[in-house]
Amino acid sequence: MSGINIWLPFTSCIVSFIFAFFVFKRYLARRGTHLLLWGIGMVFYGIGGFCEAYFGAFGWNTLIFRLWYLFGAILVAAWLGQGTVYLLANRKWANGLMVLLALGSLYGLIRVFGAQLDPGLLTTSVHTGSELSGHAIVTPGVRTLTPFFNLYGTVTLVGGAAWSAWIFWRKRILLHRTIGNILIAAGAILPAFGGTFSRFGLPGALYLGELLGAVLMFVGFIRATTPIGTQ
């Protein structure tokens, strides 16, 4: 197994858990459901990275694959995005969408853990088998879940951060939040592209996109929560 397929996702995992720690710390100090959900989302991100690193180091494991697919491929973007929904949207809407997300996540859990798997399908004409991929899922209808969760997560997380940045820029206020939200939006796009390109069989895109995405989002979060100078 290639070392890069161990260390890239492992680094991504560490960065994600450190990021989650800072988000939870801010949540405990200031409360805010958005912080709680972002923290949970980053834990999911870290679980995904850990599973990828495990696969890189030790090879196929059914439980690890299922955990990776559920947390890393299906849930992470949607839960991070839901945090942004709580930050920007009306509370009633946010709660309603949270119920839908929770039910959808439960459905995803049942489908993923009930799916038939074939690790041989990880190695095909387009896949080298060195990266995890949803192609190992044989049961129809399971992989169909990911685009819907990713669509929701991408619109809310990337769109929400970009929208926030635009609002601050339009008013020319809180420059640190404008910069931070741009970095968060850019960071959130990278794993989304990585996951999409992985589906198309492009090697290396997934793990690199995840690591760069985690780093950018972390830097963006720190920037957004740290005023510049003494504004």
Residues that bind another protein (CB under 8 A): 126, 143-144, 147-148, 150-151, 154-155, 158-159, 162, 165-166, 169, 171-173, 175, 178-179, 182, 185-186, 189, 192-193, 196, 199-201
Least CB distance to another protein at residue 189 (A)? 6
Contact (Cβ atoms closer than 8 angstroms) between residue 49 and residue 20:
no
Smaller CB separation from another protein, 34 or 143: 143
Compute φ and ψ for 8, nearest 5 degrees: -60, -55
Least CB distance to another protein at residue 183 (A)? 9
Compute φ and ψ for 137, nearest 5 degrees: -85, 120
Which amino acid is residue 166, in one-letter code? Answer: W
Smaller CB separation from another protein, 13 or 132: 132
Contact (Cβ atoms closer than 8 angstroms) between residue 162 and residue 84:
no
Smaller CB separation from another protein, 5 or 178: 178
Residue 80 CB contacts under 8 Å (≥ 6 apart), including other chains: 37, 38, 41, 42, 45, 153, 157, 188
Smaller CB separation from another protein, 64 or 185: 185
Least CB distance to another protein at residue 7 (A)? 27
